[in-house]
Amino acid sequence: MTAHPESADVTPSSFTSGLSVADFAACLAMGLEPVGLVQGFCAMQSSNYAVGAMQRGLSPYQGQSGYVENYQCPHGMVAGEHRMWGQNYEQTWIEQTWSQGFASAYARMLEEATHLGAVGVVGVVDTQSALVGAGVIEFHLRGTAVRLAGSSATSATPWTTYLAGQRLVKVFEAGFAPVSVVASVASVRVWAYCITEYLMGGSGVSAWSSSPSSTEIDQIVRAHTQSRAIVRATAQSQLRGDKLQGVQLTVAQHEYERGDLEVQAMLRGNRVRRFRDYEALPAPQPTVRLS
Amino acid sequence: MSEHVNDLPEATEHRLEELEHGLFTSDLSVNEFLLVKEAGFHPVGLVMGSSIYHTGIQTRKWSQSQELTKLTEAMYNARELAMTRMEEEAAELGADGVVGVRLDVNYYEWGKDAAEFIAVGTAVKAEDGVSRRNKLGKPFTSDLSGQDFWTLSQTGYAPQGLVMGTCVYHIAHRGLGQTLSSTGQNVELPNFTQALYEARELAMTRMQDESTRLGASGVVGVRLEEKSHQWGSHTIEFLALGTAVTKTAEAVTLTKPMTIISLDN
Amino acid sequence: MTGPNPSTNIDVAALVRETLSAHTSNVSSASTTSDLSIDEELNLHAIGWEPVQLVSGYSVFSTPLGLWSWGQGEIVAAGEAHASAFRNAASRLCGEASAAGAHGVVGVHIERSIYSTHTEVSMIGTAVRPIGAGRVEPTRVFASDLSARDFSRLIIAGWEPLGLAVGASFVYAPRRSMGAVFQQQTQNVELTNYTEAIYSARELAMDRMQRSAINLHGSGVVEVKIVEGPMTFASHAVGFAAWGTVVRLAGATHRLLHPTMVVSLDDAEVLFDAANLE
């Protein structure tokens, strides 16, 4: 699978850039010349119904790897629809689809940047969108490849960052060098057992106690806590001693049907490497705007 | 000035005549207005062009990904017409260029396959009397805001024209056998990836060709838009838009912005 | 704008060139993760603090079915569920921060969702500490929804955050009699039952928030957020929730900032963002 970089007809003096004018100006001030808008795509089949989810409700999912937690009903046989067991498990295949799609699109973007002799890619934007109906998810990364003004192409792998403009200037000024954008996803499926189901439906409390009060739903709390821990650990494992700045962590909960939930956590950030200690910064001046 | 042939309606001629006598109209904010002045330009009038275009019909093959050239042409020509008419108005005013250009598409109840393409912007003229028109002798166009216009002038680059490239692409439906691979694995779908690459590269390349025709040294502020318009989810327009710029002879020294902390919210 | 800025003489281009050529050396050893922007990180550094780790806390509490649809006066269990979920989320957040060796959590992003059968609270923020400082007890770790920028300013002015104060109350608005409903159908009248209910919820909630601030030995609560109104899922219940960061003067006196006045020529707060690419 090869990308088609448009670089063939790009002469050294002609460039495209996705940067706003202000970011463009900041780039020039940093001695970085935009050489081209670079992109990478990957369309992946994306199905929830792979592996474990197929047997949902019949027997517990036996995870090969990843987080799995079982919940046993304390009541014994009550009724046919009574959920005697419940599970939280990490949907590793979704995480794999995601990391594979992202990594392929990323590699293709880098390929274009390398082809243009770029030293880095700034102002990266990544999107994942459902394409032509369900079952296909498209990973799209793009950014502006830059070169050091007046130097020849380098052979090193280009660095990447979500930042551009003055924010990137400050990263350099603060003693950091950008390394790469980092993104990861964690997905935990929740199959509620009887107590969780009753509590979610609001009936557990009044059923087991005489005065109305509130009770924490442990299984859901665990799913949220785990998905957040996993997504951070995945990102952390890619850092190798570097720092991750400007992280965005978002968590979404999706209910497929009663008692069947997915908690998905997504994380994005800029991996940077410290190359010298902080220096005394110019003291910022507090201002009030006269509008 | 208004002796050359153009196809502008009479009322437009009249409106523009009033503008030639010193009055100016502009949709720039006060801040933008002041920054355009700072960059050495004076606004001369709000200019616009529009074209109501009937897009043809093109059969799509269910299972094949391909460009729909007829629709691509329609989308491109309609925008080009609106832009050209706006440029004509600006030329009529003796302007050097148009800033803050917005390109919009409106759909009307009465025409299922008809759409209105509009281009609106503020025509500006250099105050030193030296022409800033582009290589083709036409006023430059640009979707830059007043703030961006000033910032760009500080970097020693000058806008040449709003450049665009478009590609309407039909993405194949998947056959029954392909609907889900039976292995239970989520795999890459190379055909889709390839189609997406091709459609966007076509749009980008077309945009770059426009920039080359203007003799520009680059394109800044490139935006990639994807729209399904009214064609259903499998037919997508990929539109690339940006402002072509060239380096001016003037030497520049970029001033470093100062660090401030705002106490406003 | 006022006088010359010391940073003007830094040659950014030379700095970038030097940085990119000296890529191999890596001064720090511990990986840290933070959701702070570079601006915020620099602001923190300017007051001698550093980010340690991105931390989170989550809790969901079940409330009995039917709780919202009948009764009178305050819906006690709903207020309890809100308070408990908030408390547990905050203590898990501070627990993670303490484990990471931090002294506090800033920029805490709080999401609350209230449904008829459960109430959930989610918190995400960046754990911070004075540069190189050692661990403190989880109970001494503060959480604050102030941004890192605001936190730094507060410290510069001589104040310190102590934690989050929260108060919530949900009250059942008595139904009007059928006769009253019928009589008032064509008139403009105040629905006094709702007004009274929202007033009573407000007093209870604000009082709880103030009490939690006093328990933290604070002298004030800043950036109080208020969410109030009818509950979407229950026709006769109204709710009022308020939360903010508890602060107190750390030193002897308040330090004045003496701001400079500027006129900005930007139209919007954030004009330039790479996300505009989309």
CA C273 to chain centroid: 25
The whole-number pLDDT of residue A282 equals 63
Residue C180 lies in a domain: yes
Three-state SS string over A182-229 comes to EEEEEEEEEECCHHHHHHHCCHHHHHHCCCCCCEECHHHHHHHHHHHH
Contact A93 B185 (CB under 8 A): yes
Task: Report pLDDT for C1.
Answer: 33
Predicted pLDDT at C234: 83
- Classify residue C17: in a domain, yes or no: no
- Residues A185-232: tens digit of each pLDDT: 999 999 888 888 888 887 755 544 556 678 899 999 999 999 999 999
Domain extent at residue C115 = 31-248
User: Among partner residues A202, A215, A224, which is closest to C58 by beta-carbon distance?
Assistant: A224
Residue C258 within a domain: no
Q: Name chain A contacts of B194, Cβ cutoff 8 Å.
A: 1
Average pLDDT over residues B98-122: 80
Check residue C166 and give its pLDDT: 96
The kind and range of the H/E element at C153 are: helix C148-156
Identity of residue C60: V
Query: Residue-wise over A106-121: b if at least 16 C-beta within 10 A, else e?
Result: bebbbbbbbbbbbbbb
CA distance A90 to A66: 6
Nearest CA-CA distance, residue B178 and chain C, Å = 31
Question: Could you tell me the maximum CA-CA distance found in chain B, to the nearest angstrom?
Answer: 75
pLDDT of residue A81: 76
Assess whether pLDDT exceeds 50 at residue B191.
yes
Q: Which residues of B touch C12 (CB under 8 A)?
A: 256
Predicted local distance difference test score (pLDDT) of residue A93: 86
Of B62, B76, B111, B51, whose CA–CA distance to B232 is shortest? B62
**Fold topology of B10-174+188-247:** Translation Initiation Factor IF3 (3.30.110)
Instruction: State the nearest Cα–Cα gap between A130 and chain C, in angstroms.
Output: 16
pLDDT exceeding 90 applies to what percent of chain B? 26
| Shortest Cα–Cα distance, A26 to chain C (Å) | 10
What separation in angstroms does the CA of B19 have from each of B26, C147, C267? 11, 49, 26
pTM of the predicted protein model:
0.81
Domain ranges of chain B: 10-174+188-247
Q: What is the DSSP letter of C267?
A: S
Higher-pLDDT residue of B71, C57: C57
pLDDT of residue C27: 52
Domain count, chain C: 1
Distance of CA C146 to the CA centre of its chain: 6
- Per the rule left: phi > 0, alpha: psi between -120 and 50, beta: everything else, C132 is left
Q: What is the mean pLDDT of residues A145-150?
A: 88
Q: Is C43 on the interface with A (CB under 8 A)?
A: yes
Q: At A283, is the pLDDT very low, low, confident or very high (cuts 50, 70, 90)?
A: low
Considering only A276-290, B88-102, B193-207, C82-96, which range has the smallest mean pLDDT? Answer: A276-290
What CATH number does residue C66 fall under? Answer: 3.30.110.70
Interchain CB contact of B30 with C (< 8 Å): no
d(Cα A91, Cα C43) in Å, to the nearest integer?
Answer: 39
Q: What is the pLDDT along chain C (278 residues), one digit of tens a residue?
A: 333 344 445 677 888 888 787 655 555 556 788 888 888 888 888 889 999 999 999 999 998 877 887 778 899 999 999 999 999 999 999 999 999 999 999 999 999 999 988 999 999 999 999 998 888 888 899 999 999 988 988 998 899 999 999 999 999 887 766 666 666 666 777 777 788 888 899 999 999 999 999 999 998 999 999 998 888 888 788 999 999 999 999 988 888 877 777 777 766 544 333 343 33
Which helix (H) or strand (E) element contains residue C49? strand C49-62
3-state secondary structure of A61: coil
A29 and C257 in contact by Cβ < 8 A?
no
CB atoms near residue C1 (< 10 Å): 12
Q: At what angle are helices C38-46 and A166-173 packed, to 10 degrees?
A: 40
H/E element, B121: strand B114-126
Window 135-154 of B: residues touching C by CB (8 A cutoff) are: 145, 147
Is pLDDT of B265 > 60?
no
pLDDT of residue B8: 75
pLDDT at B238 over 80: yes
The residues in A 166-185 lying below 8 A from B, measured between CB atoms, are 166
Check CB contact of A210 with chain C, cutoff 8 Å.
Answer: no
If you count residue pairs, one on B and one on C, with CB atoms under 8 Å apart, how many are there?
40
C124 contacts chain A (CB < 8 A): yes
Q: What SS3 class is residue C82?
A: helix
Question: Are the beta carbons of C158 and C251 closer than 8 angstroms?
Answer: yes
CB of A37 within 8 A of CB of A24? Answer: no
Question: For residue B28, what is the nearest residue in chain C, using CA coordinates?
Answer: C267
Q: For position B110, what pLDDT does the model report?
A: 58
From the CA of C225, how many Å to the nearest CA of chain B? 15
Q: Is the pLDDT of residue B177 over 50?
A: no
With beta carbons less than 8 A apart as the criterion, state whether A259 and A200 touch: yes
The residues with which C118 forms a beta bridge, in sequence order, are C62
Residue A25 contacts C, CB cutoff 8 Å:
no
Is C254 part of a structural domain of the chain?
no
Give me the residues of A, 252-291, that contact B with CB < 8 A: 281-282, 284-289
Per CB-CB distance under 8 Å, the chain C contacts of A280 are none
Q: Is the Cβ pair B242, A20 closer than 8 Å?
A: no
Q: Do C59 and A283 touch (CB under 8 A)?
A: no
Top pLDDT among A250 and B19 is at A250
Q: What is the pLDDT of residues A33-62, one digit of tens each?
A: 999 999 999 988 877 654 444 455 567 777
* Model ipTM value: 0.81
The average confidence (pLDDT) of chain A is: 83
Q: Which class for A235: exposed (0-12), middle (13-18), buried (19 or more C-beta within 10 A)?
A: buried
Confidence of residue A160 (pLDDT cuts 50, 70, 90): very high
Residue with tokens 């390349």: B205
From A38, A4, A20, select the one nearest A160 (Cα to Cα): A38
Q: How confident is the model at residue B172 (pLDDT cuts 50, 70, 90)?
A: confident
Domains in chain A, start-ordered, CATH in brackets? 11-49+66-272 (3.30.110.70)
